Amino acid sequence: YKIAIAGAGAMGGRIGISLKQAGYDVELIDDWEEHVQRINKQGVEVKTETDVYTVNVPAVLSKDVSDSFDLIIILTKAMNSEKMMQRLKEAGSIHKDTAILCMMNGLGHGERLSKFVPMSQVYLAVVMWTAGLRGPGQLLLEGGGYIDFHRSDGIVDEQSNAILQLLNDANLNARVSDDIFKSIWSKATLNSVLNPLCTILDKTIYEFGSYEHSREMIIPMIEEIVSVARARNVELDGKLLLNKIEAAYPKETQGLHYPSMHQDYNKGRLTEIDYLNGQISAYGEELGIPTPINTLLTHQIHQLEMKIM
Ligand code: NAD
């Protein structure tokens, strides 16, 4: 059983080394040359709260991929997934039984991936682990987490069980979700609220939450998302989402962190805004549901990104 991690940055690295440590045949596929070179020369250097160690796992640039795989885990940034799929298709890496397991944040990935393979080969996951990169080939892994996933057409098949087994062999705490779209939309709501606001305002999650009117800012955003989700047959609980967002404010939880969008922007990298607020705004337009706040935030982030391009 051959596994590829397509997009082996922070999270791809975390999943990849965990599977490798569990004894699986894993290859990391990435486009960052320095990262790939260092991994092949020195292995992946892993730093945790208590330990530093090295995991040897082969890495390859996407332009040089030639193997075919039984499972391909997609962990590029959202804007690069289609380019990666195109490359893997051209390389003959995807066969008729290859499972494509999407672990990226954001909305609409099933539709995009099904341009390349039938829906029955696409599995969607929500990853509640975190991971960071300290430099090329150097991972920072802290905290616990879990993964929920399901085949995108709602069927549980043999591959689902195989995926469940291997993720759990790698201690990644996986579950076959009974409502994957609800989980995906819930995480996307959290990200769509905190990512752009903390980026535009240049605040940590704690600093954002300390403003006594932050609730007035985010409730209307959540309402827009709940309406769009409902029109797409996903029933979200706005109150529960608000509670989840506010649970991230304390310094003891995620408060001291800047969300990933803030980190990307400050490193001069493009953000995943089009797959969060931008996707909500696009769905809203298709469905005739107004999403003025999500649309405005999408444009504001794009304005900030003009400095990068
Ligand atoms: P990442 O930026 O670490 O890696 C994504 C890609 O960018 C990789 O191909 C990586 O090699 C490349 N990259 C990273 N730094 C680079 C640099 N300095 N120069 C050139 N290339 C570079 O992103 P990630 O955090 O692994 O995110 C992948 C997906 O997983 C995203 O959809 C993200 O939203 C999602 N996700 C991440 C986390 C997390 O904690 N990291 C948690 C849940 C979901």
The pLDDT tens digits of the residues spanning 181-228 come to 999 999 999 999 999 999 999 999 999 999 999 999 999 999 999 999
How far is 279 from 295, CA to CA, in rounded Å?
A: 9
Cα dihedral: 46, 52, 56, 58 (round 10): 20
Predicted confidence (pLDDT) per residue in 135-186, tens digit: 999 999 999 999 999 999 999 999 999 999 999 999 999 999 999 999 999 9
What is the H or E stretch that residue 170 is in? none
114-144 b/e (C-beta count within 10 Å ≥ 16 → b): bebbeeebbbbbbbebbbbeeebbbbbbeee
Q: Which of 36, 260, 265, 267 to mutate to test the pocket of ligand 1 (most atoms within 8 A of CB)?
A: 260
Distance between CA atoms of residues 90 and 93, nearest Å: 8
187 a catalytic residue: yes
Answer whether 192's CB lies under 8 Å from 277's CB: yes
User: Residue with the nearest Cα to atom 20 of ligand 1?
Assistant: 32
- Taking the C-alpha atoms of residue 39 and residue 135, their distance in angstroms, rounded to an integer, is 11
Q: How far is the CA of 264 from the centre of ligand 1 (A)?
A: 9
ipTM: 0.99
Q: Which pLDDT value is given to residue 309?
A: 74
What is the spatial distance between Cα 266 and Cα 268, in angstroms, rounded to a whole number?
A: 5
- Beta carbon of 12 within 6 Å of any ligand 1 atom: yes
Catalytic annotation, pick one of 89, 187, 239, 307: 187
- Ligand 1 midpoint to CA 76 (Å): 6
What are the pLDDT digits (tens) for 106-144?
999 999 999 999 999 999 999 999 999 999 999 999 999
Question: How many CA atoms lie less than 13 Å away from 255 in the CB half-sphere?
Answer: 13
Q: Which residues, other chains included, contact 81 with Cβ-Cβ below 8 Å and sequence gap of 6+?
A: 7, 74, 102, 104, 109, 112, 113
Q: Is the CB of 76 under 6 A from ligand 1?
A: yes
Asked if residue 61 has its Cβ within 6 Å of ligand 1, the reply is: no
